[in-house]
Amino acid sequence: VESLDVDRIRAAYPILEREFSGSQLVYLDNAATTHTPDPVVDAMSDYYRQYNSNVHRGIHHLSQEASIAYEEAHDRVADFIGADGREEVIFTKNTTESENLLAYAWGLAELGPGDEVVLTEMEHHASLVTWQQIAHRTGADVKYIAIDDDGRLDMDHAHECITDDTAIVSVVHVSNTLGTVNPVAELADIAHDHDAYIFVDGAQAVPTRPVDVQAIDADFYAFSGHKMAGPTGIGVLYGKRHLLEAMQPYLYGGGMIEKVTFEDSTWAELPWKFEPGTPPIAEAVGLEAAVDYLEEIGMERVQAHEERLAEYAYEQLAAEDDVDIYGPEPGPDRGGLVSFNLESVHAHDLASIMNDHAVAIRAGDHCTQPLHDKLGVAASARASFYVYNTREEVDKLVDAIDSARQLFA
């Protein structure tokens, strides 16, 4: 796959020119949030400057323009992920809200004693905590597919866990801690063989690789705008149309109704049924611009760029005796991030020393506490890459690790 013109890409991100104590920013916290390139900022600014207005097809010009832009953003996102149309794309606040929407709208209504929700040991708290709580409220049980020593799912255990009692399988597509790329299409097959649904948390996948929800045969799929060169404040829940049609709304209010009387109400068509109140309009415009931006680069190239950087980082870190790396070795089932620990230095101290060198990484449990318990550590450091990162930046990461080692020696 052809490599990226990173200099040209970086020119659209003024934030990357920032300096701290004389060092230029090295931003390696992309799994938390990516930066927003000029075309995305411009699209949002153009919205506010030229056609800011409420949607739901008001009579005046501005509302019509805003409505069309907002609606078309759904079409663009649907096309990007291989959905069947705007009816299958619900805009939410983020991945977390998408998961809660599903858990409340579908889970609370459908789950009961004897039903099982099958998660994996590498789930993000966004799904783990949500399903756990919905299970407490409905009497359903939660099971976890185990990971092996390399940080891959134990597929024999997956076959044991997913049974005729399974109501839904909820699995992260790309782990934000281990970097593992899970066999979601295979898991969808297993779930469907048992008449269960599958929800895929794609927060780390849609930004980093081509994703086709129909090829996966996902029943539900979620991701966030702010991890894919788009704005904060917008996320997506994809759902198969017939499933969304059968689901009751989770939030009520204006914009999601068809007819209201003092006694009762009926619901608007998809996807508006699940989007009450004034939605994230500027953010939808920004998300559409982010999709245009990523497609222009090409998702295969985005993926190849990140994976090359992650592999380079992995090799550098693996060469150090006192660095423990989590997750599979570089290969087709590892994405563009690396979590690790320097044995003599707590991850928080490491991140703080890196910050002194203007190297931005994440340290903590990355919203996967049970997984960190299983790994036997309280925290880890994580470097994650995007289209604007370079090999030189990986070298700076490794240099900063050397500084930390010396400081704590």
Cβ proximity to ligand PMP, 172 vs 400, nearer residue: 172
Binding flag, residue 129, ligand PMP (CB under 6 A): no
Task: Write the DSSP string, 292-333.
Answer: HHHHHH-HHHHHHHHHHHHHHHHHHHHTSTTEEEESPPSSTT
Cβ burial of 32 (10 Å; 0-12, 13-18, 19+) is: middle
Among 28, 172, 317, 360, binds ligand PMP (CB under 6 A): 172
Tokens of 348: 């928080």
Q: SS3 for 408?
A: helix
* Touching ligand PMP, residues 234-273 (CB under 6 A): 235
Binding flag, residue 158, ligand PMP (CB under 6 A): no
Q: How many residues does the chain have?
A: 409
Among 95, 170, 380, 389, binds ligand PMP (CB under 6 A): 95
Binding flag, residue 384, ligand PMP (CB under 6 A): no
Cβ proximity to ligand PMP, 204 vs 341, nearer residue: 204
- DSSP structure class, residue 362: E
Region binding ligand PMP by CB under 6 A among candidate stretches 5-13, 36-44, 198-206, 386-394: 198-206
- Report the catalytic residues: 367
Cβ burial of 136 (10 Å; 0-12, 13-18, 19+) is: exposed
Binding flag, residue 126, ligand PMP (CB under 6 A): yes
CB of 333 to ligand PMP, least distance (A): 16
* Touching ligand PMP, residues 38-67 (CB under 6 A): none
**Torsions phi, psi for 319 (to 5 deg):** -75, -15
Binding flag, residue 224, ligand PMP (CB under 6 A): yes
Binding flag, residue 94, ligand PMP (CB under 6 A): yes
Among 25, 367, 377, 398, binds ligand PMP (CB under 6 A): 367
Tokens of 319: 């060469």
Give CA 240 to chain center in angstroms.
19
Q: SS3 for 185?
A: helix
Using CA atoms, how far apart are residues 196 and 318, in angstroms rounded to an integer? 40
Region binding ligand PMP by CB under 6 A among candidate stretches 43-51, 92-100, 185-193, 307-315: 92-100
Write down the H helix ranges in 3-106. 6-10, 38-46, 61-81, 95-102
From residue 181, give the alpha-carbon distance in Å to each of 123, 332, 337.
Answer: 12, 8, 11
CB of 339 to ligand PMP, least distance (A): 12
The residue to which tokens 């036997």 are assigned? 376
Cβ proximity to ligand PMP, 362 vs 396, nearer residue: 362
Among 34, 138, 176, 208, binds ligand PMP (CB under 6 A): 176
The 3-state secondary structure of 207-219 reads CCCCCCHHHHCCC
Region binding ligand PMP by CB under 6 A among candidate stretches 47-55, 200-208, 271-279, 293-301: 200-208
Query: Could you count the other beta carbons within 10 Å of the beta carbon of residue 163?
Result: 12
Cβ proximity to ligand PMP, 34 vs 204, nearer residue: 204
Using CA atoms, how far apart are residues 241 and 244, in angstroms rounded to an integer? 5
Cβ proximity to ligand PMP, 210 vs 318, nearer residue: 210
Binding flag, residue 380, ligand PMP (CB under 6 A): no
Region binding ligand PMP by CB under 6 A among candidate stretches 80-88, 94-102, 298-306, 377-385: 94-102
Cβ proximity to ligand PMP, 4 vs 203, nearer residue: 203
The binding site for ligand PMP (CB under 6 A) comprises: 31, 94-96, 124, 126, 172, 176, 201, 203-204, 224, 235, 367
